[in-house]
């Protein structure tokens, strides 16, 4: 979670004495979007969980103002069609969609080259390719849903100190501050770590990682254009890296309403690491750089909001299951943001594991069984490897300066746009409908 503040009113007050809690089946470490979503998926199947988050959750209520704090101040996530279906499955999408904007078409091109392609929802016979949602709104709604669930126990401001695996469960030690006398313990059948790229749990389990530094930094923010987005997402490749301009909702109302003007757009601008400062501090230069890269495809960029810079690296856990512990989310695989695949891959992981645990509960069997968790790990390998290969192929393929490679990739874009049967296959994968 990005926001900080006071803990939720129903977050558990921790006793000062050392004690073990044994009535929860699943421990989840990491209360960001993936951790909260996984807890809600488990609750949908009637499985109780305790979720620990190292930061303090903000104080929120269902009656909070629904409007945005600032027209151009937002981070956003592109949700694939499959991710939308998952949130529909647990009854949350109706709450999310007011701040989500559908993607009707995707335009793909390379700066200074002739190759271009387009995906259109009418041609592919789908309602949309996905939705772009504001992170703050997604997090707020996930947190409210978890707060209201009787099957989810929330503990924030919690630092994990140790993980001990036993024959029939996992014991986790944590504290609310640096004082050792305030250390607490939790016990459950299984532990799922969703605590980010630098996962504490992964390190405590001595699970290594394979890391690759792209030597790129993503500049993320919101801009305004003088032309309505018309629900078009633009993927643009430059010598510096992949760029994206995605449609967003207007300040009021539903971004899927055809009467919305749609001048807000989410921007992901990738530059070589070390050059990010000039794009963060100077709005005029940032807008001019965007204009040069995108031309008039999005119209004229007229305003920019506050931006953040995020160094890009690929971090893959050497394994995602160790005994009764599962590594999930960015702790398992942190990817390049090209094509917005990372969070959606995490959601498919979470959905599959929740289903497998549910089936185990219905059979009256142990949800932390090591063989079950290994089956989960194996079941997710094909989808994960495909997405990782795709992201790296796009990043390296479209930044390689060799003229022959540049010609080949532009010919490939033309072929993609013209040859039959290729678009539906790519669209299906992009929407997360084939894993």
Same-domain check for residues 238 and 307: yes
The H or E element spanning position 377 is helix 370-379
Which residues span the domain enclosing 172? Answer: 20-62+140-210+314-386
Same-domain check for residues 39 and 81: no
pLDDT value for 58: 84
Map residue 409 onto helix, strand or coil.
helix
Same-domain check for residues 288 and 347: no
Token digits of residue 210 = 């394979």
pLDDT value for 293: 87
pLDDT value for 118: 75
Check if the beta carbon of residue 420 is closer than 8 Å to that of residue 426: no
Same-domain check for residues 110 and 180: no
pLDDT value for 6: 30
pLDDT value for 372: 95
Burial bucket for residue 57 (CB in 10 Å: 0-12, 13-18, 19+): buried
State the number of CA atoms in the 13 A half-sphere of 301 facing the CB.
24
pLDDT value for 188: 94
Predicted model pTM: 0.85
Domains held by the chain: number: 2
pLDDT value for 210: 96
Radius of gyration, CA atoms only, the chain: 22
Tell me, yes or no, whether 431 lies in a domain. no
CATH code assigned at 341? 3.50.50.60
pLDDT value for 142: 94
Boundary of a domain, candidates 265, 294, 312: 312
pLDDT value for 128: 83
pLDDT value for 136: 87
Q: Taking phi first (over 0 means left), then psi (-120 to 50 degrees means alpha), and beta for anything else, what does residue 30 get?
A: left
Check if the beta carbon of residue 223 is closer than 8 Å to that of residue 72: yes
The β-bridge partners of 157 are: none
pLDDT value for 185: 93
Mean pLDDT by 10 residues, the chain (435 residues): 34 36 74 97 96 90 61 81 94 91 87 69 80 90 94 94 93 78 88 97 97 92 92 83 85 50 86 91 92 90 92 96 97 88 94 96 92 96 90 68 58 57 57 58
Same-domain check for residues 161 and 102: no
The rounded distance, in Å, linking the Cα atoms of 30 and 329 is 9
The DSSP string of 170-228 is EEEEEESSS-GGG-EEEEESEEEE---TT-HHHHHTT--EEEEEEEEEEEEEEEEESS-
Residues in Cβ contact with 311 at an 8 Å cutoff, skipping those fewer than 6 apart: 213, 216, 217, 273
């Amino acid at each position: 979670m990005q926001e900080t503040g006071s803990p939720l009113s129903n977050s558990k007050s921790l006793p000062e004495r050392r004690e073990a809690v044994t009535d929860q089946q699943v421990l989840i470490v990491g209360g960001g979007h993936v951790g909260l979503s996984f807890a809600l998926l488990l609750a949908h199947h009637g499985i109780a969980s305790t979720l620990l988050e190292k930061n303090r959750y903000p104080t929120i209520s269902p009656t909070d103002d629904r409007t945005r704090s600032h027209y151009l101040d937002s981070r956003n996530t592109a949700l694939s069609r499959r991710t939308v279906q998952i949130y529909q499955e647990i009854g949350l999408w109706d709450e999310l969609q007011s701040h989500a904007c559908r993607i009707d078409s995707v335009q793909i091109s390379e700066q200074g080259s002739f190759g271009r392609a387009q995906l259109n929802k009418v041609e592919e016979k789908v309602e949309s390719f996905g939705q772009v949602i504001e992170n703050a709104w997604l997090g707020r709604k996930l947190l409210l849903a978890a707060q209201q669930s009787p099957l989810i126990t929330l503990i924030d401001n919690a630092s994990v100190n140790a993980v001990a695996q036993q024959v029939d469960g996992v014991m986790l030690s944590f504290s609310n501050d640096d004082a050792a006398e305030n250390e607490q313990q939790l016990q459950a059948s299984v532990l799922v770590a969703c605590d980010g790229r630098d996962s504490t749990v992964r390190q405590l389990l001595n699970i290594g990682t394979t890391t690759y530094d792209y030597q790129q930094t993503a500049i993320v923010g919101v801009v305004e254009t003088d032309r309505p987005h018309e629900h078009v997402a633009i993927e643009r490749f430059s010598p510096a890296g992949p760029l994206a301009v995605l449609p967003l909702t207007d300040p009021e109302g539903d971004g899927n309403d055809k009467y919305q003007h749609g001048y807000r757009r989410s921007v992901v601008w990738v530059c070589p690491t070390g050059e990010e400062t000039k794009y963060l501090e100077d709005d005029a230069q940032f807008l001019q750089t965007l204009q040069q890269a995108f031309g008039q495809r999005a119209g004229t960029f007229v305003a920019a909001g506050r931006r953040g810079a995020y160094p890009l690296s690929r971090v893959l856990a050497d394994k995602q299951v160790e005994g009764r512990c599962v590594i999930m989310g960015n702790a398992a695989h942190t990817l390049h943001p090209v094509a917005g695949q990372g969070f959606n891959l995490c959601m498919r992981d979470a959905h599959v594991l929740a289903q497998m645990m549910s089936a185990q509960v219905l059979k009256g069997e142990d949800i932390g069984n090591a063989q079950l968790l290994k089956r989960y790990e194996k079941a997710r390998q094909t989808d994960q490897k495909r997405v990782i290969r795709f992201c790296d192929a796009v990043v390296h393929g479209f930044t390689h300066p060799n003229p022959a490679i540049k010609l080949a990739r532009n010919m490939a874009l033309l072929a993609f746009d013209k040859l039959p049967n290729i678009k539906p296959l790519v669209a299906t994968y992009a929407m997360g409908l084939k894993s």
